Amino acid sequence: MNAHSLTIIDNRTGISYEIPIKYGTYPGYGASINALELRQIKASADDFGLLTYDPGYTNTASCKSSVTFLDGERGTLQYRGYPIEQLAEHSTYLETAYLLQYGELPDAVQLAAWRKDIGLHTFVHENIKKLINSFRHDAHPMGTLVGTVGALSTFYPDAKNIHDESCRQKQVWRLIAKMPTLAAFAYRHSRGLPYVYPDDNLSYVGNFMNMLWKISELKYQPNPVLEKAIDVLFILHADHEQNCSTSAMRAVGSSYTDPFSASSAAIAALYGPQHGGANEAVLRMLNDIGSVDQVPNFIKSVKSGEGGRLMGFGHRVYKSYDPRAKICKKIAYDVFAVTGANPLIDIALELERIALADDYFISRHLYPNVDFYSGLIYQAMGFPVGMFPVLFAIPRTAGWLAQWQECLLDPEQKIARPRQVYCGNQVRDYVPMHKR
């Protein structure tokens, strides 16, 4: 018998099955069996075979991936093997985006070419401006982003050619380059301000700040502390393996649709308050709490279930701490040194202090996640809360694209099509209206 296997005895039939166990890079993490091996387990010859039931895919690997590794028990996050702490300290968002796409850090020539190619694609078709103008003045910028990124597929019909490597490459440049432009235009629209065209002499983040905040100055000069803070936050948000939006990108992309349509679906998935919408929800929660002395009452209401969840706490995978949250907390103080402290920080710190000592949160392994502090930082910079998930979507585009290409190039991948356990009526005859 193979030591790396599982023996399953079906007590309905007494038949024994030996199923091989496969491993990923880290032997203690990702040992798996092929779910299709279970299909041979049948109660009778005409039985369909055994399925696994896994709502929310809490214990199902949908792919093999080499992009991002995270170990929830130890609070570890790595892109292509590089720890997030080192990337946050030494890399830039664009360099990290290159690493995610190609698997290696670029040399100086490769990085210069990558920057140039992205810089060449920052402008959007003038009709996109008209499209944004047609949204209501108070349209949520995530809704605008879902619509405009999806609309890009009509401006670039060549993007459908997804089996052509050079074509895919061009869409990668376009998407990474245009996301800040679309996001900034959505923001300016909500403020009733004229759009600012990209300035490719600035850094990726500096240009984004220019498109957001330039008023009448001839040349916008980004504040270097805020520019660096956004760049690091972008690195922290660039990928997070098979989360909801990335799974949406892969699932939609697996039907061979173009990457703009698939990215639009991923942005829609990110919009929800249990995912990228959480940083927005954190701010709303802190505002609702109102003052430090109300924190104990709020915690009580969370524990009783009446007050909803403690937003910015908990994670499907991280069960010790979210390494991104630690870095975020430090960035918050760098930013506050420039902008002045966000008055909500005291409420956040008190929430964290009480929750981390409370058995309800400890026993459920609920710790601050990346969204707990990012919203406070963005608010201190002057972003309205509606822009918070947009600031998540821009950098996550690099991760979505890396995962989309990995999915397309994986010979084992198929169109996403889960099974179900049918629990409805058995077949029955149609009842005419007069007999119901």
Q: What is the dihedral of CA 130, 135, 136, 139, to 10 degrees?
A: -130
Nearer to ligand CMC, 16 or 363 (CB): 363
Nearer to ligand CMC, 186 or 310 (CB): 310
Alpha-carbon distances, residue 97 vs 105, 222, 312, 397 (angstroms): 9, 21, 25, 9
Question: Is position 393 an interface residue for ligand CMC (rule: CB under 6 A)?
Answer: no
Question: Is position 316 an interface residue for ligand CMC (rule: CB under 6 A)?
Answer: yes
Question: Is position 370 an interface residue for ligand CMC (rule: CB under 6 A)?
Answer: yes
User: Under rule CB under 6 A, which residues in 215-254 are in contact with ligand CMC?
Assistant: 240, 243
Question: Is position 188 an interface residue for ligand CMC (rule: CB under 6 A)?
Answer: no
By three-state DSSP, how is residue 113 classified? helix
90 catalytic? Reply is: no
Binding segment (CB under 6 A) for ligand CMC, from list 66-74, 153-161, 194-202, 305-313: 305-313
Question: Is position 315 an interface residue for ligand CMC (rule: CB under 6 A)?
Answer: yes
Contact 188, 196 (CB under 8 A): yes
Which position has the token pair 């403020």?
Answer: 191
Q: Exactly one of 209, 232, 311, 345 binds ligand CMC (CB under 6 A); which one?
A: 311
Radius of gyration (C-alpha) of the chain in whole angstroms: 24
410 catalytic? Reply is: no
Contact 390, 186 (CB under 8 A): yes
Strands laid side by side in the 82-83 sheet: 68-71, 76-79, 82-83
Nearer to ligand CMC, 178 or 275 (CB): 275
Binding segment (CB under 6 A) for ligand CMC, from list 18-26, 69-77, 138-146, 311-319: 311-319
Instruction: Copy the structure tokens of residue 190.
Output: 């909500």
Which position has the token pair 């980004």?
Answer: 222
275 catalytic? Reply is: yes
Which string of b and e fits 105-142 if b means at least 16 CB within 10 Å?
A: bbeeeeeeebbebbbebbebeeebbebbeebeeebbbb
Nearer to ligand CMC, 252 or 299 (CB): 299
204-213 helix and 224-236 helix, angle to the nearest 10 degrees: 110
Binding segment (CB under 6 A) for ligand CMC, from list 47-55, 308-316, 340-348, 397-405: 308-316
Binding segment (CB under 6 A) for ligand CMC, from list 30-38, 217-225, 303-311, 380-388: 303-311
Nearer to ligand CMC, 180 or 368 (CB): 368
Residues that bind ligand CMC (CB under 6 A): 240, 243, 274-276, 278, 302, 309-316, 364, 366, 369-371
